[in-house]
Amino acid sequence: MHERYANEEIAKIFSDEHKVRLWQKTELAVIEARANLGIISSAIFEAIKNFWLNAPINIDWWKKRDKEIHHDLNAFIDERLLCLPNNFHQFVHDKITSYDTEESAFIRMLIEALEVIDELEGVLERNLKKFSLAYRFTIMNARTHGQEAEMQSLGARGLTWLKDLSTAYYALGIARKNLNFSKLSGAIGKYGSIPPEVEKEALRILGFDPFYGSTQIMPRVLYAPIANALCDIALVIDKIANDVRLAARSGNPLMQEPFGKKQKGSSAMPQKKNTIRTEGLERNGVMAKGYAAMITDCIKTWEERAIHQSGVERVAWPDLFHIVADSLKVLNGVISGLKVYPDNMLKEIYESRGVYASSEVKEFLKKHLCNAKYNLKYEDVYRIVQLACFNVFEPSKERMEIRTEVAYSFEKSAELLEKTAQLLRKETVIVSIEEFIPLAALRVSEDLDIPEERMEKYNLALTVLFQDMDGRYKREVMDEWHELFTPVFLLKNESVLYKEILGQ
């Protein structure tokens, strides 16, 4: 993995040095198992152990030998025999095959790398919980399809992020149970030479249970779900990062990822606070998919094994772990350093003109208007609210002039820009559906196919509902109406999420 995205601990785990140490562990465990079972004397095991622990593995010699005989495990055995008197040779790698030695080491590396992931994921879960609690009452408009939807708290969005992550992590937790097993069952997995009891005892020493039914290697269908679960973590993180990016769009940014005090956003444009951290998390999602696909392509192998899986795993597993560790680490930094702008969230709500309560409004009107008195149908109520929402966003006449005037030159563009600036300095009154619907002033909209007669029927119904004979608002109805637009009312049920997810 490129040094920019590499994780030091992951790199150590998958290093040659660590790998051959783990190979030695397997070799020793097999000898120890024979001693424990009384097949050889304990003294032999002790002797070999002593020789080996006192003679560090010569990595250079090993690599050179590998190039000669084209077999890295055999080369390792040859290296380990160098420091052993001849009479001990027969006890080494006795009745086992290369992958007997390698599998336990490989599985151990996966376990260790997952522990690095655990650590980082734990921090992220804690950060997301802290975040959710901190912003429990910071209100904002939710967005579906990029459009402002109902109101929510930022904290509650944090809870959905948390659940996305914990769902992915839970799947990883289950998939890794496959790592409890290993094998020492010989060249084709049928205990041709090594007795099953030796496997059992040696694996016990190494911390594994035997997997009955391997070939020369463990079936790779055991590990593909782990790669996929790691990939899904990277994708969930990309999803969260994407929400931050969408919120950080300039204009009225709701949040921003941390920006270093000496950071430069762009070599050309000094104003830029680019979302490079969160965009990097998309990079990681993309790469994780590629690595997981490679690992999945290892499931199919010829008969009792072919070797293509070995090289894929040499590259794809460490790189996948590097990437997922990077994702966790970067998102941790983003979440814990996130700049949140509640004022901009409030500005957005204010400017969304009450439509965040449209669902409640629709239910309110349904309750009041779908009855014999008004004789409106569900469809009518829906259209009333839709029309009102479209109406309140219709531009002023001056805005409409700007909108429809096509610039035919950049001079003209400049003129329109100036006109817009002047207009904006005046244009401050925002009408929300909260004020608009009780006015019973629905207008035909060019966006909706609602004929004038229908619309008038709607306005009549609204008039009767909200106003008395003298055109004054009915107090009781209006009280109920205004409540619809308050966070207390709209977000009353978010507490159940805090209770169910955080226990508070």
Question: Which segment (105-113, 115-123, 436-444, 489-497) binds its own copies by CB under 8 A?
Answer: 489-497
Site residues for its own copies, window 428-457 (CB under 8 A)? 428-430, 433, 447-449
Residue 2 touches its own copies, criterion: CB under 8 A? yes
Residue 412 touches its own copies, criterion: CB under 8 A? yes
CB atoms within 10 A of CB 131: 21
Residue 276 touches its own copies, criterion: CB under 8 A? yes
d(CA 297, CA 224): 9
C-beta of 36 vs 296, nearer to its own copies: 296
3-state SS track over 67-91: HHHCCHHHHHHHHHHHCCCHHHHCC
CB atoms within 10 A of CB 488: 8
- Strand 209-210 with 181-182, pairing: parallel
With CB under 8 A, what is the number of residues at the site for its own copies?
Answer: 217
Instruction: Give the list of residues 6+ apart from residue 315 with CB closer than 8 angstroms, or none.
Output: 294
Cα 60-63-68 angle, rounded to 5 deg:
130
Exactly one of 24, 104, 127, 138 binds its own copies (CB under 8 A); that residue is 138
Binding mask 212-251 for its own copies (x = CB under 8 A): xxxxx--x-xx-xx--xx-xx--xx-xx--xx-xx-xxxx
C-beta of 119 vs 447, nearer to its own copies: 447
Which SS3 state, helix, strand or coil, does residue 413 take? helix
- What distances in angstroms separate CA 161 from CA 164, 256, 330, 407, 444, one per listed residue? 5, 17, 15, 44, 41
Site residues for its own copies, window 8-67 (CB under 8 A)? none
The DSSP-derived string for 170-191 is HHHHHHGGGGGEE----TTSS-
C-beta of 262 vs 475, nearer to its own copies: 262
Site residues for its own copies, window 378-407 (CB under 8 A)? 378-379, 382-383, 385-386, 389-390, 395, 399-400, 402-403, 405-407
* Chain Cα centroid distance, residue 381: 39
Site residues for its own copies, window 113-132 (CB under 8 A)? none
The helix-helix angle for 410-426 and 397-404 (nearest 10°) equals 160
Site residues for its own copies, window 318-357 (CB under 8 A)? 319, 341-343, 346-352, 355
C-beta of 108 vs 305, nearer to its own copies: 305
C-beta of 421 vs 469, nearer to its own copies: 421
In angstroms, the first-to-last Cα distance of the chain is 42
Site residues for its own copies, window 282-321 (CB under 8 A)? 282-287, 289-291, 293-294, 296-312, 314-316, 319
Nearest distance, CB of residue 187 and its own copies, angstroms: 4
3-state SS track over 229-276: HHHHHHHHHHHHHHHHHHHCCCCCCCEECCCCCCCCCCCCCCCCCCCH
Site residues for its own copies, window 142-181 (CB under 8 A)? 142-153, 156-157, 159-160, 162-164, 167-168, 171, 174-175, 178
Residue 98 touches its own copies, criterion: CB under 8 A? yes
Residue 496 touches its own copies, criterion: CB under 8 A? yes
Site residues for its own copies, window 58-97 (CB under 8 A)? 68-71, 73-74, 77-78, 81, 86-87, 89-90, 92-97
- Tell me if 141 sits within 8 A of 154, measured CB to CB: no
